[in-house]
Chain A
Amino acid sequence: MNIYGVLAIYKFEMARTKRTLVQSIVAPVITTSLYFIVFGAAIGSRIDQVEGVSYAAFIVPGLIMLNLLMHSISNASFGIYFPKFVGTVYELLSAPVSTMEVVLGYVGAAATKSIILGLIILLTASFFIDLQIAHPIIGLLFILLTAVSFSLFGFILGIWADNFEKLSVVPMLLITPLVFLGGSFYSTDMLPQPWQSISLLNPVLYLVSGLRWSFYEIAEVNVLVSLASILVFMFACLGIVFYIFHTGYKLRL
């Protein structure tokens, strides 16, 4: 294994975060704080508890998932798209690194950044509410699996995209609606039928539900179903990544 190659990619990507600290860390923290002020303090004060949990606390797992998904995708997609855009991808393609090593470097860095961000959001939330986490290990597992899976998805997006519009259109038009309609800010019990049943088709619902269960032991679906769904998604993304490198899709001519 080319461990130096993996470390080179990983360090290079992590160094980019240092250069864009405001965009990578400060901006999401401010956005999250605004969510707490608007949804937690302003609107949340007029909402009774949701399934026995205060509204401000109820939305914490959803907010973490929202940021994890968005930043995992954007970190990984930009990480591989930028070398394609500026032409430095030639070096990656001519280097003695395997598919797995390239993925480890890029996806590892993107997932690391997202996990750090998720933990920072958790810390930010603790300033606004009295946080209690019933199953911290399960919670961390969900955060880890989500960060890795959606970083893989972002990596695929970055390879597929051939312009900046395509790079932003999937997170904006697909992920954001799925997160908002995936029970991040409400319980699906609050929805009338048939929307309650339709919500079950939203894959993000399973992630939010799983993470919320690890916090408060309340869930829309069984936690094992949530865990299985994220694993299926992760392996599907891995399969696509291997197909891309095997065929050279959009990378090698």
Chain B
Amino acid sequence: MNAVAEPILTVKNLNKTYAGGFQALKDINLEIRKGEIIALLGPNGAGKTTLISTICGIVRPTSGEVTVAGYDIIRDFRKTRAIIGLVPQELTTDSFESVWNTVSFSRGLFGKAPNPAHLEKVLKELSLWDRKDDKIMTLSGGMKRRLMVAKALSHEPSILFLDEPTAGVDVSLRKDMWNIVSELQQAEVTIILTTHYIVEAEEIADRIGVINNGELILVEDKNRLMQKMGKKQLLLDLSESVSSLPSSLSQYNLELSDDGYQLIYTFDTQSKNTGITSLLDDLKLANFHFNDLNTTQSSLEEIFVNLVNESSRA
């Protein structure tokens, strides 16, 4: 990802309140840079789909401003929508139509002249070329999911929204989808995806945004986020079980496993002094002997759960 790339999408003070009074988006501010992959995480009903739908023109904002490539999404809707591709969460297809006709329709609808060569390339990349004349109803769930991507790519968008692209698909297809995303990034397509699978965000995203109760509670570079908010632990397997710890070790806030065979030391990865050396010295002085030791780092999933829980409590 190019860290200094210009923003291609800017969201300023965006609010959305539905007719029933439910506020789905609360003062969202977000900048997305050209060519990056940003994953929006959040529990069900957090506002992820509303945010995407608003940017794409499906949902009308209550207040705020959204610009795409410098153009306002309402005043200059033709310019903004022409460069956006959307893969919705639901597998919504016209079952009786053929694969070729539906991608041709999508391309035309987005104002592009017919280009069979481009459509052929997209369908081949998504392993749908052999099924181009088949009716959509004859495709498997995974193929339909790929077809949704093909439709979104038919008009050569420079921004692609993927709303839970791998929801309900098997592991193999999920990996295929990640490969597709990776190839699109190489082609400088900006990708905004929502997902429930944290591992997906961990695998492919450059930046992570966390939405909860309509609020964007965090947007951060993935690696920095994991470094900043992730906990690291040193696990020490003892050769003999202990029932309590001596007072000389109290400063380390050690946890002792139920069976007394493991000590767990949590430390700050960003601190200059992790305290590991002095801990090991003090353990030696206290006559502790180990069979093994290893370290673990908290996953994005743990960070996400902590963030959402903190946000919900606030």
- Residues in chain A within 8 A of chain B (CB atoms): 2, 4-5, 7-9, 11-12, 15, 19, 82-83, 86-88, 90-98, 248, 252-253
Can you list, as one digit per residue, whether each of B73-97 has a CB less than 8 Å from chain A (1) or not (0)? Answer: 0000111111010101010111111
Contacting pair A8 B105 (CB below 8 A): yes
The residues of A that contact B192 with a CB separation of less than 8 Å are none
| A240 → B minimal CB distance (Å) | 19
Chain A interface secondary structure, helix, strand, loop or mixed?
A: helix
Contacting pair A252 B108 (CB below 8 A): no
> Which of chain B's residues has its CB closest to A253's CB?
B59
Provide 18 A-B residue pairs closer than 8 Å at the C-beta atoms, listed in order of the A residue: A4-B113, A4-B114, A7-B108, A15-B101, A86-B92, A86-B94, A87-B92, A88-B93, A90-B86, A90-B88, A91-B106, A91-B151, A92-B109, A94-B86, A95-B81, A96-B77, A248-B60, A253-B19
The residues of B that contact A86 with a CB separation of less than 8 Å are 92-95
**A94 in contact with B58 given A4-B108, A4-B111, A5-B109 (CB within 8 Å):** yes
Contacting pair B109 A91 (CB below 8 A): yes
Contacting pair B59 A95 (CB below 8 A): no
Contacting pair A87 B90 (CB below 8 A): yes
> Which of chain B's residues has its CB closest to A95's CB?
B109
- Residues in chain B within 8 A of chain A (CB atoms): 18-19, 53, 56-60, 77-82, 84, 86, 88, 90, 92-97, 101, 104-114, 151
The residues of B that contact A9 with a CB separation of less than 8 Å are 109
Contacting pair B110 A5 (CB below 8 A): yes
Contacting pair A253 B18 (CB below 8 A): yes
Bound CA–CA A95/B104 (angstroms): 14
| A35 → B minimal CB distance (Å) | 31
> Which of chain B's residues has its CB closest to A15's CB?
B101
The residues of B that contact A90 with a CB separation of less than 8 Å are 58, 86, 88, 92
User: With A4-B108, A4-B113 given, can you name 20 additional A-B contacts, CB distance below 8 Å?
Assistant: A2-B78, A4-B109, A8-B105, A8-B107, A12-B97, A12-B105, A15-B101, A19-B96, A86-B92, A86-B94, A87-B88, A87-B90, A90-B86, A91-B106, A92-B109, A94-B84, A94-B86, A95-B109, A96-B81, A253-B58
Contacting pair B111 A252 (CB below 8 A): no
The residues of A that contact B81 with a CB separation of less than 8 Å are 94-96
The residues of A that contact B151 with a CB separation of less than 8 Å are 91
**A8 in contact with B101 given A19-B96, A94-B81, A96-B78 (CB within 8 Å):** no
Bound CA–CA A4/B107 (angstroms): 8
Contacting pair B93 A253 (CB below 8 A): no
The residues of B that contact A83 with a CB separation of less than 8 Å are 94
Can you list the 4 inter-chain pairs with the closest CB atoms, starting with the nearest? A8-B108, A87-B92, A96-B81, A96-B78
The residues of A that contact B60 with a CB separation of less than 8 Å are 248, 252-253
The residues of B that contact A93 with a CB separation of less than 8 Å are 56-58
| B30 → A minimal CB distance (Å) | 19
Residue in A9, A88, A94 whose Cβ sees the most chain B Cβ within 10 Å: A94
Bound CA–CA A8/B111 (angstroms): 9
> Which of chain B's residues has its CB closest to A82's CB?
B94
Bound CA–CA A164/B301 (angstroms): 44
The residues of A that contact B78 with a CB separation of less than 8 Å are 2, 96, 98
The residues of A that contact B77 with a CB separation of less than 8 Å are 96
The residues of A that contact B84 with a CB separation of less than 8 Å are 94
| B103 → A minimal CB distance (Å) | 11
Bound CA–CA A2/B92 (angstroms): 24
Contacting pair B111 A2 (CB below 8 A): yes
The residues of A that contact B92 with a CB separation of less than 8 Å are 86-88, 90
The residues of A that contact B82 with a CB separation of less than 8 Å are 96
Bound CA–CA A92/B107 (angstroms): 12
The residues of B that contact A248 with a CB separation of less than 8 Å are 60
Bound CA–CA A135/B289 (angstroms): 109
| B134 → A minimal CB distance (Å) | 15
Contacting pair A94 B56 (CB below 8 A): yes
